[in-house]
Structure 1
Amino acid sequence: MNLRQLEILRAVVTFRTTVGAAERLGMSQPLISNTIRHIESVLGFALFERVSNRLSPTEEALILLEEAEPLFLLRDAVNQRATDLRVGRIGRIRIASTAELSEAVLPRVIADYARDYPRIQISLETRPLDSVLQVVENGVADVAFVLAPYERQALHYDSIADLRPVVLCDENDPVARLEAVGPRDILERPLIGPQVATRIGLMLADSFRSAGLDYRPNIETRFMNAAARIVREGWGVALIDELSAFTALRPGLVIRPYAPALPLELSAAMQKTKTPSRQTQRFIKAFRERVAIRLAEVRAESQRSIG
């Protein structure tokens, strides 16, 4: 017997008529009757007795249904799981990110998302840019959030926002009095910045070179959030992205725009050949909204009155 036949048997046992079973299952009454006769023929024993124009199940029929009940429960569980997947109540999201975004934006997005969708399994990998892009290419991560990525044939980039470099410094530092800070303004300052080996470090080095200067930070870091933390601990000025600067901000520190303005594209990277799941798309949307809020906050702070 297959599950459909068992379902017909259960409906007839429940309603005691083939008409009631047909209405319940959306089938014709003759088809219900023929199915019951076919099952009885295959099994070699009767499933019902007719009593006062109603069908009374035999003991054998009740035993069959009792044994079949786990199958119905499993079927219902599978259907419920399919519904949950369709409406986004369950699933998983595998995220990769560089350290800056793992500290500045993702913790809040993940926490909010986990509260809204508690049955979603979320994983976060924090890696250098090359490795972050690699795990998406290999299918290990569903999406990667990256700053200033470079083209890779297997990846599609969904632009989230354009960030800008800023200077994070003590409010008593001379550059804190400037409306915008250029390469020459921080040439003699104790500077912390991204390594030239990184893509953003190379972009900053080019901006120094355009001003006829060499980009030589006193302290180089791979990740810009580390540079921000050093300033927070009381040493130097950091040339970093605005999200990292805002995350490390404390009383006594200020953020100043860097000039020339360099767009640092913040993107969500995904495989070109794979359509992102509904959960992944929903998470990217939540990430985009959080970035917009954070950028409004940091840009308002960077325009704060100069002391």
Structure 2
Amino acid sequence: MLNLRQLEILRAVVQYRTTVGAAETLGMSQPTISNTIRHVETLLGFALFERVSNRLTPTEEALILLEESEPLFLLRDAVNQRAADLRMGKIGRLRVATTAELSEAVLPSLIADYGREFPRVQISVETRPLDSVLQVVENGVADVAFMISAYERQGLQFETVDELRTVCLCDAQDPLAKLDVVTPRDLVDRPLVGPQVANRVGLTLADSFQAAGYDYRPNIETRFMNTAARIASEGWGVALVDELSAFTAMRPGLVVRPYAPELRFDLLAATPKSRPPSRQTQRFINAFGKRVVERIAEVRLASQRSGTV
């Protein structure tokens, strides 16, 4: 019978005891307040106020109505607060998919910081092979996926976060550590660990070797480049990896050298084409990009000064 706006006007008049005070609080005109009260009294069939000396004293019936309607105002306030929190990204749900390299190099510290800043945002992370990462976003199981050198998918929208270069990791005592750049020729007959040719990064490396007249034949092949970086970090051989994977292997005595020819790989964020990314998702993508820039800067600084990672 009564709507929430009418109850809100009744509530304000009870609080201020005048239609003028209620009008100022609600941002309405005084005649509108008065007309609404008269209309509600007519609708209900009983008086809501006793009018004495320009003051409105609520009747017992008005107070009973307000007491019963108070939960509605609390619910409205809660909904408005929830809407404000959603607008500001303070609450929500975020489903992230990623490959192993990025899961190790970027996401742990990023999610920890993000969780501290937005403790009411629920975050889930899936670490998968590239094909599976793309599929879960396309199917709507994840809100965003991060990967290196992806291929086009009809249902996905790609955003370039940054570009990653290929680098060589070796021990500080290795002769490679003294070179300005490491080439395929320098890696012939060396114990090499790198990505398998079955993935796009490995195939690009193989092409660079072939262009130089050599075969790309890692002694140890890995699906994920962070694994290759870790193996080199443990003291076995030299590794060809991307810069973020190099970051995960950082330790005293391990050197990062540029690889030539320079190979660049796109670091991408993928979201479904069927719907635009939420404010929460876009905020996380932006935070991811900033963290990537910090990681890459550290590796490039180590590479430029020919020092240890």
User: Which category describes the TM-score, using the shorter chain as reference length?
Assistant: over 0.9
**Secondary structure class of the residue paired with 1:226:** helix
Q: Distance in 2 between matches of 1:53 and 1:290?
A: 64
Q: What residue identity is the alignment partner of 2:295?
A: R
Q: What residue is the counterpart of 1:58 in the other structure?
A: 59
- Partner SS, residue 69 of structure 2: helix
| Structure-to-structure mapping, 1:11-90, within 5 angstroms | 11-90=12-91
| AA in 2 matched with 1:299 | R
Matched, 1:201 2:202: yes
Amino acid at match of 2:106: V
Q: Is the 8 Å Cα contact of residues 178 and 306 (structure 2) preserved in structure 1?
A: no
User: Which residue matches 2:295?
Assistant: 294
Q: Which residue of structure 1 aligns with residue 260 of structure 2?
A: 259
Q: How many pairs are equivalent?
A: 307
Cα distance, 1:118 vs structure 2: 2.4
Matched, 1:217 2:206: no
Deviation at residue 62 of structure 1 after TM alignment: 0.7
TM-superposed deviation, 1:154: 2.1
State the partner residue of 1:246. 247
Amino-acid identity (%): 74
Contact kept in structure 2, 1:93 and 1:121, CA below 8 Å = yes
- Tell me, yes or no, if the aligned pair for 1:205 and 1:214 is still in contact at 8 Å: yes
Q: Is the 8 A contact 2:257 2:306 kept in 1?
A: no
Aligned-pair CA distance for 1:306: 6.9
Query: What's the offset of the Cα at 1:64?
Result: 1.1
1:173-193, Cα deviation, whole Å (9 max, x unpaired):
232222211222222112111
- State the match for 1:102 in structure 2: 103
> How many Å separate the matches in 2 of 1:55 and 1:296?
70
Q: For 2:51 and 2:162, how far apart are their aligned partners in 1?
A: 73
C-alpha separation in 2, matches of 1:85 and 1:63: 34
What's the Cα RMSD here?
Answer: 1.8
SS of the residue aligned with 1:164? strand
Shift in CA distance, 48/249, structure 1 to aligned 2, threshold 3 Å: same
2:92 maps to 1:91: yes
CA contact (8 A) 1:164 1:261 kept: yes
| Corresponding residue for residue 128 of structure 2 | 127
Task: Name whichever of 29-38 and 160-169 sits farther off.
Answer: 29-38
Native 8 Å contact 1:256 1:302 kept in 2: yes
What is the CA–CA distance in structure 2 between the aligned matches of 1:237 and 1:40, rounded to whole Å? 86
Gaps of 5+ in 1: none
Report the Cα distance in structure 1 between the residues aligned to 2:32 and 2:114, rounded to whole angstroms. Answer: 49
Query: Does 230-239 or 23-32 show the bigger shift?
Result: 23-32
Contact 1:100 1:223 in 2 (8 A): yes
**Does the 8 A contact of 2:19 with 2:34 survive in 1?**
yes
The amino acid across from 1:3 in the alignment is L
What is the DSSP-based 3-state SS (H/G/I as helix, E as strand, rest coil) of the residue aligned with 1:78? helix
Q: Is the 1:179–1:306 Cα contact (8 Å) retained in structure 2?
A: no
Kept in 2, the 8 Å contact 1:93–1:120? The answer is yes
For structure 2, the residue ranges without an aligned partner over 5 or more in a row are none
Are the structure 2 counterparts of residues 303 and 36 from structure 1 closer, same or farther at C-alpha, using a change threshold of 3 Å? same
- What's the secondary structure of 2:180's corresponding residue? coil
| Counterpart in the other structure of 2:137 | 136
TM-score when scaled to structure 2? Answer: 0.93
Matches within 5 A, 1:122-201: 122-201=123-202
User: Is the Cα–Cα contact under 8 Å of residues 195 and 228 in structure 2 kept in the other structure?
Assistant: yes
Write the distance in 1 (CA, Å) between the matches of 2:223 and 2:50.
81
Shifted more, 154-163 versus 94-103: the winner is 154-163
Cα deviations by residue, 1:219-257 (Å, 9 ceiling, x for unpaired) = 111111111111222212111111111221211211111
| CA distance in structure 1 between the aligned counterparts of 2:126 and 2:208, rounded to whole angstroms | 31
